[in-house]
């Protein structure tokens, strides 16, 4: 999946499910500090992103992400690896 499609898909999901303004969804936005999300939201974000992109991420890997840019990168990386496999 192209990176831009991933970014757009994630942003659309976060905007719909977590009531976040699109203008706030920048790569350097910190999930907890800037977007006001917490650990429960992070768990639900995994489910929503999997539903939207079809990319299944490892929970331990996802726990390391801090910013929205980290989320984009992780989804893109897992997506490309699953294509290779």
Partner 1 sequence: MQKVCITGMGLVSSLGNMPEELFSELDKGSCNFKFFEEWESYNGLETFVAAPAKEFDDSSLPRNVRRSMSRMSTMAYDATKSALKDAALSVGRNSEENDLFKPNHHRTLVIMGSTSGSPIFLEKYFKKMIENGGPKGQLSTSFFKVMNHSVAANVALALGYSGPLISPSSACSTSSQAVIMGAELIKAGLYDVVIAGGADELHYTSVSVFDVVKASSKNYNKEPLKIPGPFDANRDGLVVSEGAGIVVLESESHVKERGGKVYAEFMGGAYFCDGIHMSQPQAEQMSTTIEMALEKSGVSASQVDYVNAHATGTKVGDLQEALAIKKAFPGQDIPVSSLKGHLGHSLAACGSTELIAMVEMMKNKRMIATRNISSVTDEFSGINILKENVNAEIEYAVSNNFAFGGMNTSFVIKNLM
Q: Applying CB under 8 A, which part among 2-10, 21-29, 33-41, 67-75 lies near partner 1?
A: 33-41
Nearer to partner 1, 24 or 73 (CB): 24
The reply on whether position 70 binds partner 1 by CB under 8 A is: no
- Determine the size of the site formed for partner 1 (CB under 8 A): 10
> How is residue 46 written in tokens?
């995994």
Measured CA angle at 26 (ends 24, 32), to 5 deg: 70
The reply on whether position 47 binds partner 1 by CB under 8 A is: yes
Query: Rg of the chain's alpha carbons, rounded to an integer?
Result: 12
């Amino acid at each position: 999946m192209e990176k831009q499609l991933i970014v757009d898909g994630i942003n659309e999901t976060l905007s719909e499910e977590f009531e976040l303004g699109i203008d706030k969804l920048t790569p350097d936005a910190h999930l907890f500090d800037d977007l006001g999300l917490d650990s429960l939201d992070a768990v639900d974000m995994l489910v929503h992103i999997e539903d939207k992109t079809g990319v299944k991420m490892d929970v331990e890997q996802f726990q390391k992400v801090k910013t929205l840019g980290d989320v984009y990168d992780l989804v893109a990386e897992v997506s490309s690896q699953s294509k290779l496999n």
